Amino acid sequence: MVASIGHYINNKPVAGKSGRTGDITNPATGEVTAKVAFATEAEIDEAVQIAKKAQLAWAATPPLRRQRVMFNLKSLIEKHTDDLARHLSLEHGKTFDDAKGEVGRGLEVVEFACAIGHHMKGDFTEQVATDMDSWSIRQPLGVVAGITPFNFPIMIPCWMGAMAVATGNAFILKPSEKDPSAPMLLAELYTQAGAPPGIFQVVNGDKVAVDALLKHPDVPAISFVGSTAIGEYVYHTGTQHNKRVQALCGAKNHMVVMPDADLDQVTDALIGAGYGAAGERCMAISVAVAVGDIGDKLIHKLAPRVQALKIGPGLDPQSEMGPLVTRQHRDKVMGYVDQGVKEGAKLVVDGRGLKLQGYENGNFMGGCLFDHVTPDMTIYKDEIFGPVLSVVRSGNFDEAIKLVNDHAYGNGTAIFTRDGDSARAFASNVKVGMVGINVPIPVPVAYHSFGGWKASVFGDHGIYGMEGVRFYTKLKTITARWPTGIRSGAEFNFKARA
């Protein structure tokens, strides 16, 4: 029996009305497990109008009460971590432990939102002029929407939704149509946590739903995470309709390996950061830059580890890497491997021929490792979003940092070294938004903010932390005078207040 997934509107699940649906498949078996409804413009408008009415009262709710809802949500997510992770694993393909880790990373931002009363405190200045005070406050935008990708179907909705709702907005989530079950459960948890009807809603769909949100006059802000091509479209379409937009996009993350680095530590880091979640992470390391004469040593250590990866269904506790999300995406990744071979890169480990007994229809491929990759190759320039690691040789530190800086993307990067001078110079001079020093995936903790540079982002705000507070609120400054009875007449010209 194939399940039906609709939408979550006004604190309850509702069936779709369009008659258009998409297939949800189990990536390990290829089996269709559910049909998800695709919303119409009218259904999007219905959700927006419900949110618009609910938001007025929610914005007037004291922050203390709003953060109590966040505390309740935190407890519920902790209680349902295994349920959320199971949905993730069955629909995305990532391993169960990795899925639980994703829930935990989303939970960190919910925890940050539990202190929203503190984060939204304004500034006050007494006596800016005689008998005059001035203060600033931050107020919510209204109805805001989030468009989230398939690779983190719970973490990124937590990043967006918690910040939007805690700051007093109503939030409409359009999750990926490939794995919507975890977001639907998250919406139920918001209801159980005490969020009023209409404050957190989920509309499933495709481009029709995305365009309806981008163009809706009652949605002043859009958050997006996904590919650069779609992110650029979201940014330009949203801003053309006078919206505030943050679009976090693609990546090609380099790890610079200095000659003094601990190669055992480097190898462990590259295996986890390059092949975890089958490489379907915007912060995955997909390029290792071997500096000096360590390239052969690095390949010697990496190759057997890539060959030994334990690949299987996400719910198998022995699996280190699961399948890719869809057959189409797996074939696209394999096409990149074909192109790499054609363009002259050395394919040290070839995972294209992997077959798993009992899972012949699954979207599996083994880890691939390239050596002697050059910057003119397609596999170096494009975001592959799969279990493919490229090793590039670099003569010295300056060449390595130029390599990173010359790339179109600037999401994350890392350097592995024991030398403080090299690490400090790298952190100061690299043109990338998130930098790790002996840390392969430098995703900031919740009270800092996540965001890249260059083609990895459109818009000016990070996605959580104080950047998130600023994105989901607008600044208002009030200047007040309480006269003491002395009149000085009309003032027609600016003059110094002191």
For the stretch 380-393, pLDDT in tens is 999 999 999 999 99
Q: Are residues 21 and 166 in the same domain?
A: yes
pLDDT of residue 160: 98
- Is the pTM here over 0.85, yes or no? yes
pLDDT exceeding 70 applies to what percent of the chain? 98
Longest Cα separation, the chain:
90
Tell me which residue range forms the domain holding 71. 3-249+456-478
What residue ranges in 130-243 does DSSP mark as E strands? 132-140, 143-147, 170-174, 200-202, 221-225
Q: Are residues 189 and 337 in the same domain?
A: no
CA gap 253, 273 in Å, rounded: 10
pLDDT exceeding 90 applies to what percent of the chain? 95
Q: Are residues 262 and 192 in the same domain?
A: no
Q: Are residues 181 and 263 in the same domain?
A: no
Q: How confident is the model at residue 490 (pLDDT cuts 50, 70, 90)?
A: confident
Q: Is the dihedral of CA 396, 399, 405, 407 positive or negative?
A: negative
Average pLDDT on 471-479 reads: 97
Average pLDDT, the chain: 96
Q: Are residues 43 and 167 in the same domain?
A: yes
In terms of phi and psi (left: phi > 0; alpha: psi -120 to 50; beta: otherwise), the region of 194 is left
Residues 432-450 as b or e (16 or more Cβ within 10 Å = b): bbbbbebebbbbbebeebb
CA gap 166, 98 in Å, rounded: 27
pLDDT of residue 43: 98
What's the number of domains the chain is made of? 2
Element (DSSP H or E) covering residue 189: helix 181-193
pLDDT digits (tens, 9 = 90+) for 121-154: 999 999 998 889 999 999 999 999 999 999 999 9
DSSP letter at 445 equals P
Residues 6+ apart with CB under 8 A from 216: 44, 45, 48
Distance from the Cα of residue 21 to its chain's centroid: 25
Q: Are residues 307 and 412 in the same domain?
A: yes
443 within a domain of the structure (yes/no): no
Q: Which of 114, 158, 249, 282 is catalytic?
A: 282
Q: Are residues 238 and 325 in the same domain?
A: no
pLDDT digits (tens, 9 = 90+) for 324-358: 999 999 999 999 999 999 999 999 999 999 999 99
pLDDT of residue 52: 98
Q: How confident is the model at residue 109 (pLDDT cuts 50, 70, 90)?
A: very high
304 within a domain of the structure (yes/no): yes
Average pLDDT on 21-49 reads: 98
Q: Are residues 227 and 259 in the same domain?
A: no
| 282 in active site | yes
pLDDT of residue 81: 98
pLDDT of residue 484: 76
Q: Are residues 120 and 268 in the same domain?
A: no
Q: Are residues 302 and 178 in the same domain?
A: no
pLDDT of residue 1: 74
Q: Are residues 160 and 277 in the same domain?
A: no
